[in-house]
Chains A and B, each alone.
Chain A
Amino acid sequence: MRRMRFIFAGFSLMAVLALPIAADTQKTLSVQIREGQIRATPSFLGKMVAKVAYGDRVDMLEDRDAWKRVSIPGGKLQGWMHTSALTTKRIVLKAGQADVQTGATRDELALAGKGFNEQVEAAFKKENKNLDYTWINRMEGFKVSPEQMQDFLASGNLVPRAEGGTP
């Protein structure tokens, strides 16, 4: 009898654990950063398996708070992305596109390249000729690859204990 109860408790636990995953399957998310990286493991040190671009859509397969396991629609590739790279909104790359006119809208849209964009920056620069963006562009060129980060951690005798959470 006791054993039965134990098995039952085990099943209940499994059901509870399965719930959030089931509820979130079939959800499509959009990449909201310029260059997104899909990783083999839910870790910023995880090996990169694919790159995705701003506005690309991915299907969420699993939700572990800060990390989502995703796949590229139509492709076999799957891996992990941090939630801060993703949005539930559909990112419309061009204003006036058909899906903007007919889309489900409300809280579901984000418009790429709209608002404060290159065009507005150019107009702002014209009004503020004293501002120099040379070093802004230069600093944006300072890039560190995941491999370099790993080397940096290892050579500094640093052992990461946890991943970033959710903002």
Chain B
Amino acid sequence: MKKAVRVMGLIAVAVLTVAACKTMETATTLVTVIGVGSGVISSSQGESIQRSAVAISRSVESFTPEQEYYIGRSVGAVVLSKYTAYANTQVNQYINMLGQTLAKASDLPEVFGGYHFLVLESDDINAFATPGGHIFITRGLIRCCRTEDALAAVLAHEIGHVQLRHGMQAIEKARVTEALTVLAQEGLKTYGSREVAQLTQAFSGAISDIASNMINNGYSRSFEYQADQAALVILRRIGYNPSGLINMLAGMEQKLKPGGLDFAKTHPAPRDRIAEIQKPDLTFTSVVQPKIRQERFIKAGSQL
């Protein structure tokens, strides 16, 4: 009898929740009621699920930096199934010194596991950034840069994608809802095999959404232009010449092969990006690179 009252109570809570909230909570509520009714979960766990379903809202914003980190690791593993890491300590150290310093001047200087950069052994002109802050850049793209300021622009553009959460926004909405529904079950002390299977399915879907967007289709033009704007801000803050971005794009314009599966396919044409950058009628002055900065850039580049 007591149990029946409790279940009735829960149903009342459920009805209220349904009245007050949107679809995802509704789904969780129904699952919870079914779970309690069938004895799969205790009613206190049930209440806990009810509460957190409201607590966790329904957008990608709801993923914690820790979860973005795990998504990032696996997206990175997918990138590395298509490209080989360039195992050169000196060049990777240089790229991390430059990239991690730039990231600190972004609007998202702190990500769960920190920003990390890796050079890819490929003549393609390509770069990728995962939601967790793993950033990859091909040898081919580094070769489009003639100065450290230009290379800084490439890395700052990728940091811009992380900061603006472009990768996370590639995840299909249904998948987000699905994952968050399972995540809402905080009352469960540990995941059973069913929850792990559900989560893994959502995880797997999220990885493929992001990877296919990033590697095959490319983000929208507006995302690319936004990342360019973020890059300009980061460059200025650190003290690089923002015209590094324009110089890099000009270098890329010369090297991109039409029909290529790299930036030729996934990014707006460099000349379009340059036009977009110069739209607000900004003047970019070319400044002579300090000798010492140019020397370390050439030294690192000689390792490619």
Contact = CB atoms under 8 A, between A and B. Distances in A.
Given A116-B179, A158-B239, A105 B203 contact: no
- Chain B interface residue count: which class? 35 or more
A88 to B, nearest CB: 13
Nearest to B119: A139
Given A96-B187, A153-B239, A123 B200 contact: yes
Contacts of A144: 96-97, 100-101
A139 B292 contact: no
Contact of A133 (B56, B77, B113): B77
Contacts of A130: 81
A109 interface: yes
Contacts of B78: 131
A105 B77 CA distance: 35
B249 interface: no
- Would you call the interface of chain B mostly helix, strand, loop, or mixed? helix
Interface in B19-56: 44, 48, 51-52, 54-56
A84 B44 CA distance: 34
A163 B102 CA distance: 11
Interface stretch (A5-13, A16-24, A32-40, A56-64): A32-40
B117 to A, nearest CB: 7
* Among A108, A109, A140, A148, residue most surrounded by chain B Cβ atoms (within 10 Å): A140
Contact of A32 (B66, B107, B196, B236): B66
Contact of A115 (B67, B189, B293): B67
Interface stretch (B68-76, B251-259, B264-272): B68-76
B200 A120 contact: yes
A135 B85 contact: yes
Interface in A121-167: 121, 123-124, 127-128, 130-133, 135-136, 138-140, 142-144, 148-149, 152-153, 155-167
A119 B134 CA distance: 20
Given A119-B196, A139-B116, A139-B118, A100 B104 contact: no
Contact of A124 (B186, B204, B292): B204
Nearest to A85: B110
A130 B211 CA distance: 15
Nearest to B197: A123
A135 B96 CA distance: 14
B114 interface: yes
Contact of A136 (B52, B80, B148, B238): B80
Interface centre among B148, B206, B237 (most CB of A within 10 A): B237
Contact of A120 (B65, B110, B203): B203
A59 to B, nearest CB: 19
B280 interface: no
Contacts of B63: 115-116
A95 B182 CA distance: 13
Which 6 pairs of residues, A with B, have the shortest CB-CB distance?
A: A96-B189, A157-B290, A85-B110, A44-B104, A158-B239, A131-B77
11 contacts: A101-B44, A107-B55, A120-B200, A131-B80, A139-B134, A140-B113, A142-B117, A149-B104, A158-B293, A167-B108, A167-B163
Interface of A: 32-36, 44, 54, 66, 82, 84-85, 87, 92, 95-96, 100-101, 105-121, 123-124, 127-128, 130-133, 135-136, 138-140, 142-144, 148-149, 152-153, 155-167
